[in-house]
A and B are shown apart, each in its own frame.
Chain A
């Protein structure tokens, strides 16, 4: 683990995060406009799906790198928020999975577990210090 300090870690995170998010946005719009999922060949659909996913893997790498490089208190807060986000997402995955097994709900796209993780991670990060000794 290479601790570089809060400012350097933050700068390196932003240098990676924003270009990746820009690439992700462009790819999402480009593929949704250019690829017709009803008529496009499978190789094109696979390529498009993986191309859109690649920047997201980059963002996940940037998050991991920042937790390694930032200062100890920020790292602790980030990891606590990721823990909460991961556990909430896992909990919902099990709950929705069993609801599907018991045929209570129809199939729900697994795509939504990604946003669920980031929303719960963000909410946890913003609320973790409310009246709590860490």
Chain B
């Protein structure tokens, strides 16, 4: 799943370690999510969305178009 976590984090001027501390996860977790190696669970995705004040779908993109998904 693609995401814009790295962009949002750098906009805030936070390091991976700083973001990890705010989310109470390991720095490796943040790195794995940013590089697309790991997709977070819904609770963690919601926590990320809340932290940046954005809806989940604005941060994470599963590449499925809504119109084709509805078919």
Contact = CB atoms under 8 A, between A and B. Distances in A.
B24 interface: yes
Interface stretch (B6-14, B35-43, B49-57, B59-67): B35-43
Contact of B26 (A73, A129, A133): A73
A5 B20 CA distance: 10
Max chain A C-beta neighbours (<10 A), residue from B20, B21, B23, B38: B38
A70 B33 CA distance: 16
B29 interface: yes
Interface residues of A, number: 15
Contact of B37 (A7, A8, A72, A133): A133
A74 interface: yes
Nearest to A3: B43
A74 B32 contact: no
Interface string A1-17: 00001111000000000
A88 to B, nearest CB: 23
Contacts, number: 44
A72 B41 contact: yes
B28 interface: yes
Contacts of A76: 38
Nearest to B41: A72
B5 to A, nearest CB: 13
Given A72-B44, A73-B25, A74-B25, A6 B37 contact: no
B25 A134 contact: no
Interface of B: 20-21, 23-26, 28-29, 32-33, 36-38, 40-41, 44
17 contacts: A5-B24, A5-B25, A6-B24, A7-B21, A71-B26, A71-B29, A72-B25, A72-B29, A72-B40, A73-B25, A73-B28, A73-B29, A73-B32, A73-B40, A74-B29, A76-B38, A134-B37
